[in-house]
Amino acid sequence: MRSGADYREALRDGRVVYVMGEGRVDDVTTHPATRAMVDEYVAWHDRHRDPAWAERLLRPDGTPWAFVRPQGKDDLAGMGRSYAETCFLSAGNITHDPGYGHLIAMGILNAVAEHGAGPEHTERARAYLDLIDRTGRFLTFSAGSAPIGYRLRPDPAERAAAKIERQTDKGIVVSGRIGMHTSPCYAEDIYVGSLCGLQLDGHAVSFVVEAAAKGVTTLCRKLAPRDPSRFMAPLSNRFDELDGTLWLDEVLIPWERVFLVDASPEPVARWLMWHHLYGWGARAEFSLGLGLALADAMGLKGNDATVEYLVDLMAAVQTIRACQTAGVRDPENTAIGYVAPNQRHVMAGGIALFKARQQIAEILRIVPGSSLVVAPGDTDLADDGLAAGLAEAFAGGGYSAKQRAALLQLAWDHVSSGLDGRESAFELHASGGMPAWRGRLRQSFQDYNELANAVLQQLAFEMPRIDLGGIPARAMAPRRVNAPPADDKR
Amino acid sequence: MRTGADYRAALRDGRKVVIMGGGAIEDVVTHPATAAMVEQYIAWYDRHRDPEWAGTLVAPDGTPWAFVLPRTVDEAQAVGRSIAKTIFLSAGNITHTPHYGHLIAMGVLAAAEKQNAAPHYIANAAAYREGVARDQRFITFCGGAPIVGQRMQPDPADRVSVKIVRETDSGLVLRGQLGMHTSPAYAEEVYVGTLTGLQIDKQPIGFIVPVGARGVTTLCRKPAAREANPFMAPLSSRYDELDGQMWLDDVLIPWERVFAVDPAPEAIPRWLRWHHLYGWLAKAEFTLGLAFALTDALGLREHDLTIEYLVDIIAEVQIVRSCIAAAELEPEFTPSGYCVPNHAHLAAGGISLFKARQRIAELLRVIPGSSLVVAPGDADLQIPELAQGLEESFGGGGYTARQRSALLLMAWDHVSSALDGRESAFELHASGGLPGWRAWLRRSFTDYNRLANAVLEFIDLDMPEIDASMIGAAPVGSRRAVTLPAGKK
């Protein structure tokens, strides 16, 4: 595993980055808008060299779980544990890291193998996975869809995100605008999926582009608004994983980074939803941890209504834990010989959490009472004119006013901040949102005919044999189509 | 394995059974109110001798999974699979079987070992469990709580279900009245739990009472109202598992059937809630199967909204399946090495299903459309002046009117009948209802302090160390107290 310092140095590669509202970022490792997250990724790397973390992050042979290719359920369990532990460290806000990139690279290999364009293509994808695992390069994921302006173009042929300008001996030269993806300014490579619309010899094309390649510009979204004080915004100041779009201006994509895949992005995402669910689970567990801490700090551990709220949180958390446990311990094989968590269990967990997440946030706003709204900051507590009164108002029961206020501000930052709003908006789209998770469950559920025909056994006479194989076989719901306005509005 | 015929003969043991609204039952094997369920239990036994079922119900050494005390994950999964497959056969309505009885006996054994009151109690519990596994008799479970009239007694000392009349060399002589439990008319023995409040040697006790013992009267609830015609009520006419009460009038309980047990609410039900969850899942899976079948029969396989309804049910079913899978794949073990499905995962599954069940039932009423309400019966289809019109109205698309009606009426019987209402009312109480399952999760969740203190690491201050373990350790809420009306006795 490379060091954090090596990773930091790798980001000084001449990349062209803009942050909306902040302008050009010359050096992401030092710019105020990006350096905190760089520090988090540096810590992610260095944590793998920390003996205190070795048991959780390294396989007994020393391989980081983040780069293991799972051969069985014990591998999946080790990988899952490492995701859970590391995602929790950012309260579930940092969802993309080099370990996630390794899962993307495994997914590329899986997608290429499933597509079956030929062994040379499979070897190309395997070589790229080898590179990722050998170097620890940080790869992130874009499905490849176009931004809204492209989708509203009058000519349907112009609505794709990217186009091939020309082919050369070295590769394809691509131009275009790639829609939302996460952490491009911190990653070294971006996988652009088949939704980009490129085709070669009748095959859908996906590719990996270097963030610093000539002709690449990364445009990150605006920052989540936050108080600059770490006391007031302990999460927002550290964990604002920036999403972005990517502009490609005649960018050369070497042939060894061009991957022929199915039109559907699902085979690439084979391991990714599992990781997403760990991120969501970490966020839910952090909410439960905050709920428990607040119950202690507010003297409510014996309050029946509060305990019932906590049980609501526990039920949500435990459902996800159960689904993840089942997914890991009841795995499935893939086309490339590595096991994957059972899709059905993972989808069930994701759907359960999609339904529960609003209630989880509301409960965390309820448990501390209105103190959550009026808690002071550290500067208020240091104000001579306010200090004594605020101490009287917020101290007691084993907590100083500063300690209790810090905990309340942490809760506020977790479930009532711009960072929280971004997380919700992002997750409602990033992996397709609830419709896509439901579609994946529909496709992975297996007992349609068995159940349908089993109930007919209750009837004492002959019934038609039922075949519902068409329901799971139906394609995922198509991406919504944006209707260009009438001619007079163009 | 015992035969169904042997079981049938065992029910003719002189038991005294009364059914509310129906009077005394001389022979449960033949009485119209009970005969259908007896046949189901006979089939349960005989199924274990059916070669087609052997792979599902019988361990490689020939032992029925229903009577295996699991010690490994593989054994727990096999036991679970046998429960799932057999409960589905009644659409989740038959929740108490001899298999369930063996799980009770396992719970008694584990609870006696946990209490560790005296060696003979453990030995008696072990011998009892082995006896049940050997002769495969049918036990059911009663918590032991008093009935409402007892709870209204003016003297608090009288607010108990059962009292000890005397102790003899042979055992305890008991008198009292025991509250709701299930299938006592079909069981051979009833385990009565610690909610009786009885103690021996200052230890809370449970005991076994034979249904046919002298002094025992079983009072079953009224049957779920139903059409007599199986075409109209294919489930209600077969699967009305009768709940009941039990009166004890100077009944001798032999000492070897008295057990000092751990009174914790998890102790005896250690394996039972696993079985409960399989029962609820079977009902949900049957609902899903019906929804699939109705989607086919109503020609809605390509209808997007219907498919979304199906996915709603699929999601609820799969969540519970996942929780059960996790519970079996990540089990707990008693000190003696018995494999117990992980309680935290089970509790999560149960709570999820408690929340979803109303929605599941409504979806099954929605999917078939109003045809569900107006579907004809088989007798209607044979009325000369109606037959052709009904065939035009309900036949077509690969289904005869009779076939489509049969399916619609089965859906009605499943989610709009008195049997369905009984199932709901029963499950809202039987294992403590949602409050009981939530308390069970609270007590089995293990990360209170780890999570509470982990979030404090995000604050750049020294913070107090949090001990939130009292939340998990708090006892289950006491049973609701009955307030005596002022001036009334």
Burial profile B125-154: b = 16 or more Cβ within 10 angstroms, e = fewer? bbebbeebbeebbbbbbbbbbbeeebbbee
Q: What does DSSP say about strands A16-19 and B258-260: parallel, antiparallel, or unpaired?
A: unpaired
Cβ-nearest to B459 among A234, A345, A453: A234
CB contact under 8 A, B456 and A441: no
The CA distances from residue B471 to A222, A292, A295, A309, B443, in Å, are 42, 9, 10, 12, 8
- Give the residue-averaged pLDDT of A279-297: 97
Cβ atoms within 10 A of the Cβ of A150, count?
A: 19
Q: Looking at residue B485, what is its pLDDT?
A: 67
- Residue pair B255/B171 in contact by the 8 Å Cβ criterion: yes
Residue of A nearest to B308 (CA): A438
Q: State how far residue B479 is from chain A, nearest Cα, in angstroms.
A: 15
Q: d(Cα B280, Cα B423) in Å, to the nearest integer?
A: 10
Within an 8 Å CB–CB cutoff, is residue A293 touching chain B? Answer: yes
Q: State how far residue B92 is from chain A, nearest Cα, in angstroms.
A: 12
For chain A positions 385-424, those within 8 Å of chain B (CB to CB) are 398-399, 402-403, 406-407, 410
Q: d(Cα A13, Cα B423) in Å, to the nearest integer?
A: 67
Cβ atoms within 10 A of the Cβ of A313, count?
A: 25
What confidence category does residue A17 fall into, taking pLDDT thresholds of 50, 70 and 90?
very high
For residue B324, give both structure tokens.
Answer: 């059960």
Q: State how far residue B57 is from chain A, nearest Cα, in angstroms.
A: 18
Contacts of A470 in chain B (CB under 8 A): 301-302
Within an 8 Å CB–CB cutoff, is residue A273 touching chain B? Answer: no
Burial profile B348-378: b = 16 or more Cβ within 10 angstroms, e = fewer? bbbbbbbebbeebbebbeebbeebbeebbbb
Q: State how far residue B161 is from chain A, nearest Cα, in angstroms.
A: 29
**Which strand (E) or helix (H) includes residue B135?**
helix B119-135
CB contact under 8 A, B468 and A295: yes
pLDDT mean values, one per 10 residues, chain B (489 residues): 96 95 94 96 98 97 97 98 98 97 97 92 97 97 90 88 96 94 96 94 94 96 89 94 94 96 89 97 98 95 94 98 98 96 97 95 94 93 93 93 96 92 86 91 95 96 95 81 67
- Residue pair A422/A371 in contact by the 8 Å Cβ criterion: no
For residue B122, give both structure tokens.
Answer: 């453990």
Q: To the nearest 10°, report the CA torsion of A129, A133, A134, A137.
A: 90
B56, B94, B235, B292: best to mutate for the A interface, most A CBs within 10 A:
B292
Give helix B35-47 / helix B98-115 axis angle, nearest 10°. Answer: 80
Burial profile B471-484: b = 16 or more Cβ within 10 angstroms, e = fewer? bbeeebeeeeeeee
**Which strand (E) or helix (H) includes residue B144?**
none
* Domains along the sequence of chain A with CATH: 4-47+90-261 (2.40.110.10), 272-442 (1.20.140.10)
Partners of A23 in beta bridges = A19
Who contacts A471 (Cβ-Cβ below 8 Å, separation ≥6)? Answer: A442, A448, B295, B301, B307, B310
Q: Looking at residue A486, what is its pLDDT?
A: 72
Within an 8 Å CB–CB cutoff, is residue A234 touching chain B? Answer: yes
For residue B248, give both structure tokens.
Answer: 């004890």
B287, B345, B455: best to mutate for the A interface, most A CBs within 10 A:
B455
Who contacts A381 (Cβ-Cβ below 8 Å, separation ≥6)? Answer: A387, A390, A391, A401, A402, A405
Q: d(Cα B89, Cα B238) in Å, to the nearest integer?
A: 11
- Residue pair B295/B310 in contact by the 8 Å Cβ criterion: yes
Q: Looking at residue B488, what is its pLDDT?
A: 57
Q: Provide the terminal-to-terminal Cα distance of chain B, rounded to the nearest Å.
A: 52
Residue of A nearest to B351 (CA): A315
Q: d(Cα A339, Cα A108) in Å, to the nearest integer?
A: 15
Cβ-nearest to B318 among A344, A455, A468: A344
Within an 8 Å CB–CB cutoff, is residue A301 touching chain B? Answer: yes
Q: What does DSSP say about strands B162-167 and A199-200: parallel, antiparallel, or unpaired?
A: unpaired
Q: To the nearest 10°, report the CA torsion of B205, B211, B213, B217.
A: 100
Q: How does the average pLDDT of chain A come out, rounded?
A: 95
Q: d(Cα B203, Cα B191) in Å, to the nearest integer?
A: 17
Residue of A nearest to B349 (CA): A319
ipTM: 0.87
Q: What angle is formed at CA A405 by the lines to CA A403 and CA A408, rounded to 5 degrees?
A: 115
Q: State how far residue A83 is from chain B, nearest Cα, in angstroms.
A: 16
Residue with the two structure tokens 């009058």: A154
Residue of B nearest to A294 (CA): B452
Q: d(Cα A442, Cα B204) in Å, to the nearest integer?
A: 50
A94, A303, A309, A325: best to mutate for the B interface, most B CBs within 10 A:
A325
Cβ atoms within 10 A of the Cβ of B36, count?
A: 15
Q: d(Cα A360, Cα A326) in Å, to the nearest integer?
A: 23
Partners of B416 in beta bridges = none
Q: What angle is formed at CA B304 by the lines to CA A107 and CA A457, rounded to 5 degrees?
A: 95
Question: What is the DSSP code (8-state) at residue B196?
Answer: G
Give helix A98-115 / helix A35-47 axis angle, nearest 10°. Answer: 80
Within an 8 Å CB–CB cutoff, is residue A219 touching chain B? Answer: no
Q: State how far residue A323 is from chain B, nearest Cα, in angstroms.
A: 5
For residue A386, give both structure tokens.
Answer: 């306010």
CB contact under 8 A, A292 and B290: no
Within an 8 Å CB–CB cutoff, is residue A253 touching chain B? Answer: no
Residue A150 identity (one-letter amino acid)? Y
Q: pLDDT tens digits, residue range A365-412?
A: 999 999 999 999 999 999 999 999 999 999 999 999 999 999 999 999
Within an 8 Å CB–CB cutoff, is residue A471 touching chain B? Answer: yes
Q: d(Cα B66, Cα B136) in Å, to the nearest integer?
A: 9
What confidence category does residue A440 fall into, taking pLDDT thresholds of 50, 70 and 90?
very high
Residue of A nearest to B292 (CA): A452
Q: Which of B6, B5, B1, B31 is nearest to B185 (CA)?
A: B31
A312, A468, A471: best to mutate for the B interface, most B CBs within 10 A:
A471
Q: Looking at residue B117, what is its pLDDT?
A: 87
For residue A101, give both structure tokens.
Answer: 């990139």
Q: Which of B394, B369, B114 is nearest to B263 (CA)?
A: B114
Q: In terms of DSSP H, where are the helices of B298-342? A: 304-329
CB contact under 8 A, B301 and A322: no
Q: State how far residue A197 is from chain B, nearest Cα, in angstroms.
A: 27
Cβ-nearest to B292 among A234, A448, A464: A448
Cβ atoms within 10 A of the Cβ of B488, count?
A: 6
Residue of A nearest to B439 (CA): A311
**Which strand (E) or helix (H) includes residue B94?**
none
Q: Looking at residue B149, what is its pLDDT?
A: 82
Contacts of A464 in chain B (CB under 8 A): 296-297, 398-399, 403
Q: Which of B122, B125, B109, B130 is nearest to B334 (CA)?
A: B109
Q: In terms of DSSP H, where are the helices of B249-383? A: 272-297, 304-329, 343-366, 371-374, 378-381
Question: Rg of the Cα trace of chain A?
Answer: 24
Cβ atoms within 10 A of the Cβ of B215, count?
A: 15
Cβ atoms within 10 A of the Cβ of A189, count?
A: 24
What confidence category does residue A489 fall into, taking pLDDT thresholds of 50, 70 and 90?
low
Q: Over 60: is that where the pLDDT of A490 sits? A: no
Residue with the two structure tokens 């929280």: A420
Q: Looking at residue A425, what is its pLDDT?
A: 87
* Domains along the sequence of chain B with CATH: 4-266 (2.40.110.10), 271-440 (1.20.140.10), 446-473 (no CATH)
**Which strand (E) or helix (H) includes residue B194?**
none
Q: Which of A166, A173, A153 is nearest to A254 (CA)?
A: A173
Contacts of B88 in chain A (CB under 8 A): 454
CB contact under 8 A, B235 and A398: no
Q: pLDDT tens digits, residue range A151-206?
A: 888 898 899 999 999 999 999 999 999 998 999 999 999 999 999 999 999 999 99
CB contact under 8 A, B451 and A285: yes
Residue A33 identity (one-letter amino acid)? A
What confidence category does residue A477 fall into, taking pLDDT thresholds of 50, 70 and 90?
confident
Residue of A nearest to B294 (CA): A452
Q: Looking at residue A487, what is its pLDDT?
A: 66
Q: d(Cα B230, Cα B226) in Å, to the nearest integer?
A: 9
Contacts of B396 in chain A (CB under 8 A): none
Handedness of CA A106, A108, A111, A114 (dihedral sign): negative
HEC string of chain A?
CCCHHHHHHHCCCCCEEEECCCEEECCCCCCCCCHHHHHHHHHHHHHCCCHHHHHHHECCCCCEHHHCCCCCHHHHHHHHHHHHHHHHCCCCCCCCCHHHHHHHHHHHHHHHHHHCCCHHHHHHHHHHHHHHHHHCCCEEEECCCCCHHHHCCCCHHHCCCEEEEEECCCEEEEEEEEEEEECCCCCCEEEECHHHCCEECCEEEEEEEECCCCCEEEEECCCCCCCCCCCCCCCCCCCCCCEEEEEEEEEEEEHHHEEEECCCCCCHHHCHHHHHHHHHHHHHHHHHHHHHHHHHHCCCCCCHHHHHHHHHHHHHHHHHHHHHHHHHHCCEECCCCCEECCHHHHHHHHHHHHHHHHHHHHHHHHCCCCHHHHCCCHHHHCCCCCHHHHHHHHCECCECHHHHHHHHHHHHHHHCCHHHHHHHHHHCCCCCHHHHHHHHHHHHCCCHHHHHHHHHCCCCCCCCCCCCCHHHHCCCCCCCCCCCCCHHHC
Contacts of B453 in chain A (CB under 8 A): 289, 293
* DSSP SS3 for B407: helix
Q: Looking at residue A141, what is its pLDDT?
A: 97
- Half-sphere exposure for B69 (CA within 13 Å, toward CB): 19
Contacts of B441 in chain A (CB under 8 A): 311, 314-315, 318
CB contact under 8 A, A318 and B315: no
Partners of A248 in beta bridges = A176, A216
Q: Looking at residue A121, what is its pLDDT?
A: 97
CB contact under 8 A, A410 and B459: yes
Cβ-nearest to B438 among A288, A311, A468: A311
